């Protein structure tokens, strides 16, 4: 199946106007707060009107699992699942770029995200220590004003390494479209939460509580864009906190999981 094709099983959307997206690109799920699109992020982003979202909050594939090309070409399960863990999650695509290709790719979609974000809006994207310098460069190459780095402390449950410091943090690189107003709540720069739990549906999924904290940078009632929404944790957090959201995901299995999570208790 081609990336931009949708199976009949996913075509469950009523005939409503999606939040902030031109009607030429049809969502596969929509309710009063959330629109989900099945397709390539760059293709869908080009259909979103300029200056229509308040924040971009996303967790792109880092392409950080290995030093050499052979390492990067392994499945994401082989790269990121600890030995002895139960293999309960499927793989995901787009995680095999080298560092220069990753920078170029990020700059492309970050520039589109800049266009669709309102002046003063923000962009927050996850990365790890390997791709942290490249990510801060790509954010600025996409036209954003780099504002800083926040940290997710995964606690001592993160993978230990004898004789070395534990790789216990992932990072949120963030910036803004131009200047920002000095208003809104004072937000923390570090979140301490365990990985996983019963709410983890994706091999790289972030805790729902973490996403609920991060999206506080978007005003209540505002719209969050997640171009790589995976299993939908960002969208679910938006829905539960009264924010609107647009999610994009190209892999069918994760679109299905997102729809199932969002549709719980929702009459379409």
In a domain, 3, yes or no: no
3-state secondary structure of 121: strand
In a domain, 246, yes or no: yes
3-state secondary structure of 104: helix
In a domain, 78, yes or no: yes
Res 241 pLDDT > 70: yes
The CA-based dihedral angle spanning residues 254, 36, 236, 117, taken in that order and rounded to the nearest 10 degrees: 120
Domain interval for residue 101: 8-82+90-178+190-263
C-alpha distances in Å from residue 231, one per residue of 227, 237, 250? 12, 12, 11
Query: Which has more pLDDT, 76 or 138?
Result: 138
In a domain, 183, yes or no: no
In a domain, 195, yes or no: yes
Provide, rounded to the nearest whole percent, the portion of the chain with pLDDT above 90: 63
Q: Which residues are CB-neighbours of 219 under 8 A, at least 6 positions away?
A: 54, 184
Number of domains present in the structure of the chain: 1
pTM of the predicted model, to two decimals? 0.81
Per-residue pLDDT tens over the stretch 15-56: 344 566 655 578 999 998 999 999 999 999 999 999 999 999
In a domain, 1, yes or no: no
Q: How many whole angstroms separate alpha carbon 242 and alpha carbon 262?
A: 14
Provide, rounded to the nearest whole percent, the portion of the chain with pLDDT above 70: 73
Flag the least confident range among 4-8, 203-207, 263-267: 4-8
Per-residue pLDDT tens over the stretch 207-223: 889 999 999 999 999 99
Q: Give the pLDDT confidence score for residue 264 in this predicted structure.
A: 77
Q: Sheet harboring 53-58: ordered strands across?
A: 29-30, 34-38, 244-249, 223-226, 53-58, 117-127, 169-176, 145-153, 190-192
- Across all residues in the chain, what is the average pLDDT? 83
Instruction: Give the CATH number for residue 238.
Output: 3.40.50.150
Backbone angles phi, psi at 139, to 5 degrees: -55, -45
In a domain, 134, yes or no: yes
In a domain, 268, yes or no: no
């Amino acid at each position: 199946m081609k990336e931009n094709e949708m199976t009949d099983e996913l075509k469950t959307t009523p005939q409503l106007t999606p939040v902030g997206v031109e009607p030429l690109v049809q969502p596969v799920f929509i309710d009063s707060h959330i629109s989900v699109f099945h397709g390539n992020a760059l293709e869908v982003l080009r259909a979103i009107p300029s200056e229509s979202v308040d924040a971009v909050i996303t967790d792109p594939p880092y392409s950080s699992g290995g030093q050499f090309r052979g390492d990067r070409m392994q499945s994401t399960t082989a790269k990121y699942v600890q030995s002895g863990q139960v293999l309960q999650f499927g793989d995901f695509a787009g995680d095999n770029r080298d560092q220069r290709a990753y920078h170029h790719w990020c700059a492309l979609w970050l520039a589109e995200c800049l266009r669709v974000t309102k002046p003063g809006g923000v962009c927050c994207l996850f990365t790890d220590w390997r791709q942290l310098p490249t990510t801060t460069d790509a954010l600025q190459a996409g036209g954003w004003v780099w504002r800083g780095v926040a940290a997710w402390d995964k606690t001592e449950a993160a993978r230990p390494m004898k004789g070395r410091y534990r790789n216990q943090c992932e990072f949120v690189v963030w910036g803004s479209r131009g200047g920002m107003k000095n208003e809104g709540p004072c937000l923390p720069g570090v979140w301490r939460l365990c990985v996983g739990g019963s709410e983890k549906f994706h091999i790289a999924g972030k805790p729902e509580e973490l996403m609920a904290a991060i999206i506080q940078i978007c005003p209540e009632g505002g719209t969050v864009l997640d171009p790589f929404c995976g299993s939908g944790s960002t969208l679910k957090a938006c829905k539960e906190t009264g924010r609107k959201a647009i999610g994009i995901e190209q892999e069918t299995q994760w679109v299905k999981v997102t729809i199932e999570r969002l549709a719980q208790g929702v009459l379409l």
